[in-house]
Amino acid sequence: MKPINVGLLGLGTVGTGVVRIVEGHQEDLSSQVGSTIHIRKVLVKDPLKQRNLKVDEELLTENPWDVINDPEIDVIVEVMGGIDPTKQYILEALSQGKHVVTANKDLMALHGPEILEKARVHKCDVYYEASVAGGIPIIRTLMEGFSSDRIKKIMGIVNGTTNFILTKMSQEGAAYADVLKEAQALGYAESDPTSDVEGLDAARKMAILGTLGFHTNVGLEDVEVRGISQVKKEDIAYAKRLGYEMKLLGIAERQDDQISVVVQPTMVSTSHPLASVNGVYNAVYVYGEAVGETMFYGPGAGEMPTATSVVADLVAVIRNIRLGVTGQTAHHVYKEKKLKSDDQIAYKNFILLDVHDKAGVLAQITQVFAEFDVSLESVVQQPNPHNPDAEIIIITHEANQASMKRVLEHFKSLDVIKSIKSAYRVEG
């Protein structure tokens, strides 16, 4: 059979892994798809750059249109990242009837509906498994494995950089700033780590997972985001003492067709499987009405894990080409987006208060909780040798977000409270 010709946009870490797999696993791949896979052109910034992978110089080009306009290319694999001009390249490729495989979470989170609609019109496939959680096949699982179920909740660790930082803080008692520097030195964090540590990267991934899981267009603006830059080592120490681990979680929930999607540092019970996911690993927990609880775990980034997901998507596209069913597998959004209000979002809370050490303080604090109908699971006054006053740790029962906001706002005006040192969601 005629070989399938691939145009590769980008030859960085993931692009290099794609070439390694396609060239090194040719026999296995061709046996699955019925033909050889040929990388015909590769877009690079500098064709003369020294690389740790030997690529025929005749394949390399600095001109993206050499790849996109080549009539012999069947599939475009985009691993260059970014929004502009990447979006333009992908839309033009689809207009020419070329199928697309991408690892671009930013692009799919912000412009996924437009790209998928263009693919539908031109009867093309767009696959993007590698855009979320690297080597974990979570997107295909949501689209196919849960196609007969109704997903109630998706909760996961979807950013390896922040998980590495929080793991080191937990296991070594290190400060956030010190571990961030180590993560940058190891290449886990960028020189500007804002996207990771402030939760933006995780938010983009949760927008994608929420769209797939709930069949509605979840935009980045629909995700409530809080990062880990304000997490202190004493917060993690208190969490461990109470039987929790601190994780940056993405949480997407649905109840009666109303949804909420958040990314925030969360105290996870040590009995929950997500609590033991450490280092740069990712994990996604999915609750289905029929199947119950399932968890998917694996490397969330890196050359070969991510490239494996990209090539798996490439194989899926080629199979569809052979079967003549391209353009029929796009995810369909058919539900109106209904976001939960703060009154409808409920969870347990951890609160750490710095208070004046005198009689009647606890009574005033518990009165505020009662006033806003928040019940308490536990209250602990913890001696702190570094604090001449007192610290009070409170774990609430499940309370709605609106009530908790009112409680915390009221605390700011309460004379007996010096400061609200920490407030976190509690899961598990």
Q: pLDDT tens digit string along 57-80? A: 899 999 999 999 999 999 999 999
CATH of the domain at 416: 3.30.70.260
From the candidates 168, 205, 247, 340, give the one annotated as an active-site residue.
205
Residue 328 counted as domain residue: no
Q: Are residues 120 and 142 in the same domain?
A: no
Q: Are residues 393 and 310 in the same domain?
A: no
Q: Are residues 117 and 143 in the same domain?
A: no
Q: Are residues 130 and 148 in the same domain?
A: no
Query: For residues 239 and 173, what is the distance between their CA atoms, to the nearest angstrom?
Result: 12
Q: Is 53 left (phi over 0), alpha (psi -120 to 50) or beta?
A: beta
Q: Are residues 387 and 309 in the same domain?
A: no
3-state helix, strand, coil in the chain (%, to 5): 40, 25, 35
Mean pLDDT across the chain, nearest whole number?
93
Residue 394 counted as domain residue: yes
Read off the pLDDT band of 55 (50, 70, 90).
Answer: confident
Whether 370 has a pLDDT exceeding 90, the answer reads yes
CATH of the domain at 144: 3.30.360.10
Q: Are residues 147 and 274 in the same domain?
A: yes
- DSSP-assigned beta bridge partners for residue 270: none
For position 386, what pLDDT does the model report? Answer: 67
Q: Are residues 266 and 294 in the same domain?
A: yes
Q: Are residues 180 and 247 in the same domain?
A: yes
**3-state class of 279 per DSSP?**
coil
Find, among 76, 94, 78, 100, the residue nearest to 10 by Cα.
78
The yes-or-no answer on residue 87 being catalytic is: no
Query: For residues 130 and 301, what is the distance between their CA atoms, to the nearest angstrom?
Result: 9
For position 378, what pLDDT does the model report? Answer: 93
- In the DSSP assignment, the letter for residue 55 is -
Q: Are residues 119 and 227 in the same domain?
A: no
Q: What percent of the chain stands above pLDDT 70?
A: 98
Q: Are residues 84 and 33 in the same domain?
A: yes
Sheet architecture: strand order including 99-102? 60-61, 37-43, 4-9, 75-78, 99-102, 126-127
pTM (global) more than 0.75: yes
Residue 336 counted as domain residue: no
The structural domain count of the chain equals 3
How distant, in Å, are the alpha carbons of 80, 163, 167, 185, 192 from that of 188? 18, 10, 13, 8, 12
Q: Are residues 181 and 269 in the same domain?
A: yes
Residue 22 counted as domain residue: yes
Whether 273 has a pLDDT exceeding 70, the answer reads yes
Q: Are residues 126 and 144 in the same domain?
A: no
CATH of the domain at 55: 3.40.50.720
Name the residue range of residue 242's domain: 138-299
For position 201, what pLDDT does the model report? Answer: 95
- DSSP-assigned beta bridge partners for residue 266: 247, 425
